[in-house]
Structure 1
Amino acid sequence: MTVGCAAGDAQSYILFCDFFDRVIEAYHNHKMSKLQESDFNYDNLKGGDDFDQDYALSCEVSALRAVDDFCFPTHCSRGERRELLTLAKKAFDQLAETLPGKLYSVAEISQHPEDKGVTVIPSPFQLRTGVARDWPDSRAVWFSKDRTLVVWININDHLKLVTTRDDANIAKAFQCICVNLQKLEALYKKMRHPFIWKPQLGWVVSSPADVGTGLRARVRVKLPELSRHKRLKDILRRLRLCMDNTDCSGVYNVSNAQTIGLDEVGFMQLVVDGVQLLIRMEKRLQNEENIDDLVPLQK
């Protein structure tokens, strides 16, 4: 399911709250009367570093942020986009001592994508919604020196932090996101352009599908038997997870289905506990055993 809409700026969520609130409630199964909380204390996460490596192959954690006083990519001007890139350059320059890295324009990456390991091409959605206006002007990607962290600038949102791991240690990936997100937040506050936060919406970004935490945690898992089980859709709904195909048969990306209603640690815990349970189910099915007693109650 997709939301089919995007906000032009943070104020849109206030001015058109009758519309956006209904979209958020329907997509996230969340009551807008609740206040959103935030928790970056990664030590509160239980597990995530002990997945069975025969099943959990890799992981990724990402977080979106929007910068105050700027329109979102669907509506921002060329001047705003360039100023956002300037702010990002200043922030990464100040991070250089503790987190060395290098910033590349999308034009540079497009010339030699194999060197950077990424390809940045506007999607049909970006072209339709105006996000790709003036492409590739002021679009950039920052890579940490050790390649543990990548930050996308002016691509889908103002900022997107991504960390990936080949060992599926999602606890370490979450720690990386938490530590560096807080560093960037402090620097942007110092530059008087903090990340946008609203009590009922949490971290505000352009898509209603990502408000709240802006956090997505994905684990690439081998689930050939469970993927064919008749109760899979019900199991995922109860776990509040979604499962997407990959380019490898029997391997799926398992991630949180919502981003609002719990804090960052809460959503990470859903993914960690859910993946552990899905792997247990897969093992039983491979042994031709029943999994009905493992099906959880609604979370």
Structure 2
Amino acid sequence: MATNTDKYEAEENFPDFSRQDSMVRTHLTQDMYKNLFKKLTPLGVSIDKCIQPACEYVRDEKIIGLVAGDEHSFEVFKDLFDPVINEQHSGFGPSEKHPKCDLDADKLQIDGVLDENYVRSCRVRTARNLKGACLPPCISRAERRLVEKVFTEALNSLDGDLKGQYYPLQSLTKEQEQRLREDHFLFQKPDSHILVNSTACRDWPTNRGIWHNDQKTFLAWINEEDHCRIMAMQKGGDIKGVFARFARGLKEVEKKMQANGHGFQWSERLGYLSACPSNIGTGLRSSVHVQLKHLGKHPKFKEICTAMQLDKRGTGGENSATVDDTYDISNAARLRKTEREFVQHLIDGVKKLIEMDKTLEKGGKVEVPKA
């Protein structure tokens, strides 16, 4: 049976990018689009599904504009994905290869904990997606139900200090919702351009939910931006302990999934796969909430963080304001280094930021480090 796409040539269907700026606009030529126009992945994903975010207007911001509809998108549409990945990750050519996973917390070089006069809390999180199912921009209702079932079965079978409970968004009581909000565990329907414009929010909130252990130090979000976001957190500066728990929990979840014939989406070249090309590789974001009363007021604070390959956010997440001079500092990259190396990078960077804050407190000066 012919589809409406079959009636037209690629030139007639080429997007109008005149009102926005994106990496897709930079790299997608008409010739490339013509070559990819009628290709489909084994799960039926088209190039038009992948570039939909680039076809929507986003004010005053250059966006990536590209999402993977499934794990095969990176290969079937590599003519576009490869240059976008290369740009997003500041150089990662088609011959480069992401290193193997390293979750060994014992290799971290840190004496004790991060300075708790400055560091308020630590968190490590990553994204994992179910092999064989479409990613959120293209997922079907049946696949979303399968994702919820597979991940919650694995999570609910954890024991010891990882033992916990799943809370489906669609059946939360008012009391549960209030508690999850107070614990800062509850996620709302996303309003970011990439999730809204890629249609990843369809059927909200069905088959979405939050799982956490009884001690509230190990958490999972089901069917938000990716199939599952797994994280460990705790108050204070014990980043090594947080990473160790994160690694142990992540390994246990994967082990229990494998026992039931399931696995994570993974590429030998790109590492763990994600809907957004920015999160491929490790998908890992290691972060601390750190109070920087003096450095935070420095006119070049953002430049300093950028030069150190660190992201700076408010304590409420991306694009949020800071509270009490406390910032969320994390590794900026996701690709080319291992999980353990990214956590080490954060440790070293936060120590340096604290040193700078102390220098400014004493009346000294700090400079933007050489990148």
- 2:282 aligns to what? 213
- 1:240 aligns to what? 309
Letter in structure 1 aligned against 2:113: D
Aligned: 1:42 with 2:105: yes
- 1:276 aligns to what? 351
- 1:199 aligns to what? 268
Q: Which of the residues 153, 162, 179 maps onto 1:115?
A: 179
Measure, in 2, the Cα distance between the counterparts of 1:45 and 1:82: 38
Point out the more displaced range, 283-292 or 205-214: 283-292
For residues 49 and 21 of structure 1, do their structure 2 counterparts lie closer, same or farther at Cα, with a shift above 3 Å needed?
farther
> Gaps (5+ residues) in structure 2?
1-61, 316-321
For residues 81 and 211 of structure 1, do their structure 2 counterparts lie closer, same or farther at Cα, with a shift above 3 Å needed?
same
CA displacement at 1:28 relative to structure 2 = 1.9
CA displacement at 1:272 relative to structure 2 = 0.4
Per-residue Cα deviation, 1:242-265 (whole angstroms, up to 9, x for no partner): 111234042111111110010001
Aligned: 1:5 with 2:66: yes
CA displacement at 1:207 relative to structure 2 = 0.9
Aligned: 1:65 with 2:128: yes
Determine if contact 2:164/2:212 at 8 Å carries over to the other structure: yes
Determine if contact 2:164/2:211 at 8 Å carries over to the other structure: yes
Aligned residues: percent identity?
29
Letter in structure 1 aligned against 2:79: D
> Gaps (5+ residues) in structure 1?
none
For residues 3 and 171 of structure 1, do their structure 2 counterparts lie closer, same or farther at Cα, with a shift above 3 Å needed?
farther
**TM-score w.r.t. length of structure 2:** 0.75
Count residues in correspondence: 296
Matching of residues 280-295 of structure 1 within 5 Å: 280-292=355-367
Aligned: 1:124 with 2:191: yes
Per-residue Cα deviation, 1:54-97 (whole angstroms, up to 9, x for no partner): 11111211111011000001110000011111112321343246
- SS in structure 1 at match of 2:279: coil
RMSD over aligned Cα atoms: 1.9
Measure, in 2, the Cα distance between the counterparts of 1:8 and 1:143: 28
Measure, in 1, the Cα distance between the counterparts of 2:267 and 2:232: 26
Point out the more displaced range, 42-51 or 188-197: 42-51
Measure, in 2, the Cα distance between the counterparts of 1:197 and 1:48: 34
- 1:80 aligns to what? 143
- 1:257 aligns to what? 332
Matching of residues 161-180 of structure 1 within 5 Å: 161-180=230-249
CA displacement at 1:111 relative to structure 2 = 3.2
CA displacement at 1:15 relative to structure 2 = 1.3
Choose 1 or 2 for highest CA Rg.
2
- 1:133 aligns to what? 202
- SS in structure 2 at match of 1:209: helix
Measure, in 1, the Cα distance between the counterparts of 2:223 and 2:112: 32
Aligned: 1:26 with 2:26: no
CA displacement at 1:139 relative to structure 2 = 0.9
Point out the more displaced range, 270-279 or 88-97: 88-97
For residues 64 and 277 of structure 1, do their structure 2 counterparts lie closer, same or farther at Cα, with a shift above 3 Å needed?
same
Aligned: 1:182 with 2:243: no
For residues 64 and 48 of structure 1, do their structure 2 counterparts lie closer, same or farther at Cα, with a shift above 3 Å needed?
farther
Measure, in 1, the Cα distance between the counterparts of 2:310 and 2:352: 12
Letter in structure 2 aligned against 1:119: L
Answer 1 or 2: higher relative contact order, Cα 8 Å, separation at least 6. 1
Aligned: 1:143 with 2:206: no
**TM-score w.r.t. length of structure 1:** 0.92
For residues 48 and 220 of structure 1, do their structure 2 counterparts lie closer, same or farther at Cα, with a shift above 3 Å needed?
farther
Point out the more displaced range, 167-176 or 62-71: 167-176
Per-residue Cα deviation, 1:182-207 (whole angstroms, up to 9, x for no partner): 11111222222211111221111111
Letter in structure 1 aligned against 2:107: N
Measure, in 2, the Cα distance between the counterparts of 1:224 and 1:268: 24
Determine if contact 1:49/1:170 at 8 Å carries over to the other structure: no
Letter in structure 2 aligned against 1:14: E
Determine if contact 1:110/1:120 at 8 Å carries over to the other structure: no
